[in-house]
Structure formats: C-alpha cells, structure tokens
C-alpha cells in the first residue's frame, strides 16, 4: 500500500506543480504576444509616416519643410493605439518629442544626453519593447508599451523612434484568452491524471506479477548457468583424472633406466600431455571469454623462450610429416616483455598446429619482427593448401570450417582460431590472415608488449625440502580412483615411512578417529562422503577430541578457482590440482616433514 500512497502523493504534487508552471507559462506567453503585437504596431507606424513625410532623415536633421509635414507629425501622436512618440538621432540623443509639436512649429534638439535603450536598438538593429503599468501615472493608459524601433532610410539606420502604444484592451483580451486556454489545459490535465489512475494502479499490480515472473525466469537462468558451470567443472574433472594417470605414469617411467630413444619418447609423452592439458584448459576458458569473466595476467616473461618452446613442442609432429619448423628473429627483440605468457603460448600452439596439420611438404616459418609502431609481430607462415579468399573472414568464427577441406581434411573442433582471436583481442593485440590457394597461408599476430627488466634469478632452495626429509612421515590418501591410488603409492611409497589409502571420505573420517597421520591428501569427488564434507568432519572431530589439526591437502581434478576457495573454506590447508607432478607433491610434503618429525620426537 505504501507504493499506492506515494503514487497518489506524486499525482497531487504533479497537479500543483503543473498549475503554477502553467500559470507562469501563460503569463509569459501573453507578455510575448503583447510585445509582438506592439512591435508590429510600431513597425506599421514607422512605415506609414515615413512614406507620408518622405523619410525621417530630414526630421532628425532638425527641419520640417512644409506645414503639411508638421500636421502629419502632429497626427502621428494619435495614430491607431499610439498616443505619443519620440525621435532620437543616430547617436541616441533626443531630437523630437510629440508633446512639443504644435500647428505653429516644432521644437528640435530637446536633449543632448543619450538614451541607453535607443543606443541598444541602434547597436542591434532590432526593436526593443517593454510593457509598462500606467495605472499609478497621470496621463497614461492602464497598460502601455514603449517600443524603440530603428528608423531605416536607404538601408541605413538614421535614428530610433520610441513609440508609446496603448495596450490596455489588447492585454485584457490576450490575458483572458490565455487564461481560458490555461483553464482548459488544467481540466484536460486533471482528467488525464485522474482518469488513468485506476489503470495505473492495475498496471502496478500487473507489474508486480510480471516482476515475479521475471524473477522466476532469472532464477531459471541462474540455475541453467549453474548447470553449465557444473557441466564444465565435471568435464574438467573427468578429463584431468585420466590425464593424471598419463602424466604421472610417464614421469615414473622417465625415472627408470631408459635408453636415449625411450627417454625421448617418455619426455615427448609428458610434453604432449602437458600441451593437451593446456588445450583442454583453454577450451574450458572459452566459456569464460564468452561470459566476459576471463582475465589476462600481465607479468614479465621471456618472449624468446616462449616462442622457442612453442616451436619445440610441435617439432616432433612436424618431423613425423617430413616438415621443418624454422624460428627466425628478424631484428633485435626485447627478450623479456610484460604479457600473459600462457595465453601467448596457446595462440602460437593453435597457429603452429594448424600450419603443421595442413602442410604436406615444405616448411613452417615462425618469424618475429617489430612493426613501425613498435608492436611485436609474430607471423606463422606455411607452404600448405591455402584458404579460398571467400573463406578468409570466416576462419575466425566459432565452429567454422572451410568447405574445401582446409579444416575437415583433419579432425578439429573449429574453435582453435576463434579462441586465438579472442585471446589476442583480450591482450590488446590483433590477428590477421593472408593466403594463396595452393601455396600457403600466413597468420600474423601483433601485440603491444612492453619491454621488462630481467627478473633476478631465484635463490637456490635449501636441502631441507629434499626427498630424504620425507623419511618418518606418515601419509594418508583419501582417493577412490584406482589409477590415482596406484600413481600416488608409486610416487610416495618408497619415500615415506607409512602410506595408507582410504577409498572414500567416510572411510577417512572413521579411520582418523583412532589413527591420525601426519598429512592427509584428500580428493574432492568421492562416493559416500565427498572431500569437502570429510574435511569438515575431520576438523570437528579434532576440535571435539582436543587434538592438533592435521594438515589436509586437496589433491583433486577440480581445478577451478571456486574449487580452491571451497577447499580452504572447508578447513583444508593446501591445494594441488591434477594432473599431479611428483616434484610438486614431494616439495609440498617436504615442507611438512620437519614439523611432523618434531612432534613425533
């Protein structure tokens, strides 16, 4: 009901404000109408008598040649509504006053002082009118106008005539007319405001219902967005889990005795898996780009190393097809620049990957140069099949593929170039393409990278983080995936004094009630009881028993920022996302080994 009262008050205030503003407007319009009418009368007066006496220039000069002119000037003082007049020369001085006229002659040059209003009319060349109240003045109409109008002869202003016009009747008639219009407007406005009041109240009710419907639609949209986020998170989890096995086992295999060829193979597996993981992450990031939630992080990085690494990752693939990748820095480039290295690497991998994929013979050139404006330009040039001219604009669209087989000759999602263009734009860069069908294509990236100082080399880590310091550490792992159980057991089993595997969160809570390890590695997604709930239950259990909190490290394929925050909110003390690298895991545990040993001692 408060809204209804406020609406009624608003209508009342609008009516009052409209009434007073309307009255002001009516008075203003009436005054302007009266001024326009007076100036029209003055103009008629000047035109009429100027023609009758042959112009005002000789009058201003102080002479009247005939008795007829004198009679005409005397009649001018009572022409239509004019009851008096004055004539000023081109200096604004009073020359002639109608009250000084008589049948016997006229008095000229009455006043040497200039009239300010006459001077203004001379300067502007326009009439100036004021409406005066004469009710308190003798020998004046109740209302009269004083109009200063320029006197023009042969295109030049020779003086000014001040015409006194009786506007009493005109003012009454004009005011009465405008008041009737004002009354009609007020009635119409009142009807217009009060008539639709019921309709407006009805509209308010309908609007509330519509708002409820919109709120429901908003909730559904948020639910759909949440479902999309969950889908992406689940997809990330399901992809990272097997990737954890691939990368982890490749690392373990790399630690065994291998001949040079086998060492190359395992390292290629690890590099390729890492590159695949980056691509997976980038595809997931595409949804963030679309939603406007993607952020670019600018930090100093080695531009040369980034470009060389991208080329090195794809060199084995190129060699398998008999191709070479040539890296060329055409002119001096800043080695260290400020920018987003992972996103630049992704752009280069997308372009180099396409170049290798669609080139059967020849070479792929990766050329870095400087533009005239100082931007870093990176061109990927191939000798492949080329792109038809009518398809050049569409290659950067999502899911677009060239019909001539440029993309369909090999499998692809059609997202690589679209992601590259979006990332380049987010980095304040640009991408362009030129191509000749049958001869090859050139994709050119340009970025406004600023030169950065070479960062100081990091200090060498003290030996306290070494593998040897894991001796005596008791580690428990809550993990339901058998591949991950095997991987972590293989990584940590030989290094720690005791390693226990719990198959889910509930088993971890039950077992920790009677045996507390030094460190718990906790997966997030597990049957019966998930990792977050298990961490909360463990913290509650420790608090109830008065025990010290055991470090709980999240070891999960849920790698999004919100997952990290959720882990810390649940009471966990660390976070490692899958795929897990042995060096990272050992370094993390080594930092916990010494405190644990001190407690045991």
Cβ pair 404, 388 in contact under 8 A: yes
List average pLDDT for each run of 10 residues in the chain, which is 601 residues long.
62 70 78 89 87 81 70 77 88 84 66 84 91 86 92 88 90 83 74 68 77 84 68 68 76 82 82 72 67 75 90 90 90 82 90 90 91 90 88 76 49 70 90 90 92 70 52 89 88 88 92 88 89 93 89 81 85 85 85 56 45
pLDDT at site 539: 92
Is-same-fold flag (299-389+420-451; 465-600)?
A: no
The whole-angstrom separation of Cα 178 and Cα 186 is: 12
Fold observed for domain 299-389+420-451? Heat Shock Protein 90 (3.30.565)
pLDDT at site 377: 93
Class of CATH domain 2-192: alpha beta
pLDDT at site 364: 93
The whole-angstrom separation of Cα 106 and Cα 110 is: 10
Which among 315, 337, 340, 335 is positioned nearest to 325, based on CA atoms? 315
DSSP line for 459-527 = PPPPGGGSGGGGTT-EEEEE---HHHHHHHHHHHTTTSSEEEEESSHHHHHHHHTT---SEEEE-SS-S
Phi/psi for 162 (5° steps) reads: -100, 110
CATH of region 465-600: 3.40.50.2300
The whole-angstrom separation of Cα 311 and Cα 410 is: 20
Domain definitions of the chain by residue range: 2-192, 299-389+420-451, 465-600
Q: What's the DSSP call for residue 104? A: T
């Amino acid at each position: 009901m408060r809204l209804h009262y406020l609406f009624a008050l608003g209508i009342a205030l609008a009516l009052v404000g409209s009434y007073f503003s309307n009255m002001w407007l009516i008075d203003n319009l009436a005054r302007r109408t009266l001024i326009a009418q007076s100036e029209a009368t003055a103009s008629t007066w000047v035109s009429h008598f100027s023609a009758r006496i042959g112009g005002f220039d000789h009058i201003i000069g102080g002479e009247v040649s005939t008795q007829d002119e004198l009679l005409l000037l005397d009649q001018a003082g009572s022409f239509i509504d004019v009851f008096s007049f004055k004539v000023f020369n081109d200096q604004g001085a009073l020359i002639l006053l109608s009250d000084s006229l008589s049948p016997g002659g006229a008095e000229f040059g009455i006043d040497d002082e200039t009239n300010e209003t006459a001077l203004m009319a001379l300067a502007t060349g326009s009439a100036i009118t004021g409406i005066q109240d004469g009710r308190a003045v003798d020998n004046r109409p109740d209302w009269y106008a004083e109009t200063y109008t320029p006197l023009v002869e042969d295109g030049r202003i020779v003086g000014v005539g001040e015409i006194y016009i009786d506007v009493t009747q005109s003012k009454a008639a004009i005011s009465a007319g405008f008041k009737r219009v004002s009354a009609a407007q007020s009635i119409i406005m009142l009807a217009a405001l009060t008539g639709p009041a019921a309709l407006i109240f009805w509209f308010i009710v309908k609007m509330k219902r519509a708002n409820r419907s919109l709120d429901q639609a908003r909730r559904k949209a948020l639910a759909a967005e949440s479902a999309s986020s969950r889908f992406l998170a689940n997809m990330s989890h399901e992809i990272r889990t097997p990737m954890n096995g691939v990368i982890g086992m490749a690392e373990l295999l790399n630690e065994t005795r291998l001949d040079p060829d086998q060492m190359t193979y395992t390292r290629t597996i690890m590099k390729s898996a890492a590159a695949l993981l980056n691509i997976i992450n980038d595809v997931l990031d595409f949804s963030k780009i679309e939603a406007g939630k993607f952020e670019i992080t600018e930090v100093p990085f080695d531009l040369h190393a980034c470009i060389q690494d991208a080329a090195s990752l794809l060199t084995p693939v190129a060699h398998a097809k008999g191709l070479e990748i040539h890296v060329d820095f055409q002119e001096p480039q800043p080695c260290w620049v400020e920018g987003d290295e992972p996103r630049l690497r992704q752009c280069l991998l997308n372009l180099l990957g396409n170049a290798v994929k669609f080139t059967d013979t020849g070479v792929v050139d990766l050329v870095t140069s400087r533009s005239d404006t100082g931007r870093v330009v990176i061109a990927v040039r191939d000798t492949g099949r080329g792109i038809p001219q009518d398809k050049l604009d569409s290659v950067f669209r999502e899911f677009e593929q060239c019909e001539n087989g440029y993309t369909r000759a090999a499998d692809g999602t059609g997202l690589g170039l679209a992601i590259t263009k979006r990332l380049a734009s987010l980095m304040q860069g640009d991408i362009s393409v030129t191509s000749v069908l049958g001869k090859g294509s050139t994709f050119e990236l340009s970025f406004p990278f600023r030169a950065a100082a070479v960062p100081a080399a990091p200090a060498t880590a003290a030996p306290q983080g070494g593998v040897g310091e894991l001796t005596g550490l008791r580690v428990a792992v809550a993990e339901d995936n058998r591949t991950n159980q095997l991987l972590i057991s293989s990584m940590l089993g030989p290094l720690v004094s005791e390693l226990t595997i719990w198959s889910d969160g509930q088993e971890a809570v039950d077992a920790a009630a009677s045996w507390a390890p030094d460190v718990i590695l906790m997966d997030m997604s597990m049957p019966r009881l998930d990792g977050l709930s298990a961490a909360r239950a463990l913290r509650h259990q420790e608090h109830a028993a008065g025990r010290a909190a055991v470090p709980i490290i999240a070891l999960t394929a849920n790698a999004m920022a919100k997952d990290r925050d959720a882990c810390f909110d649940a009471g966990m003390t660390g976070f490692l996302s899958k795929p897990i690298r042995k060096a990272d895991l050992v370094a993390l545990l080594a930092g916990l080994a010494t405190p644990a040993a001190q407690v045991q001692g």
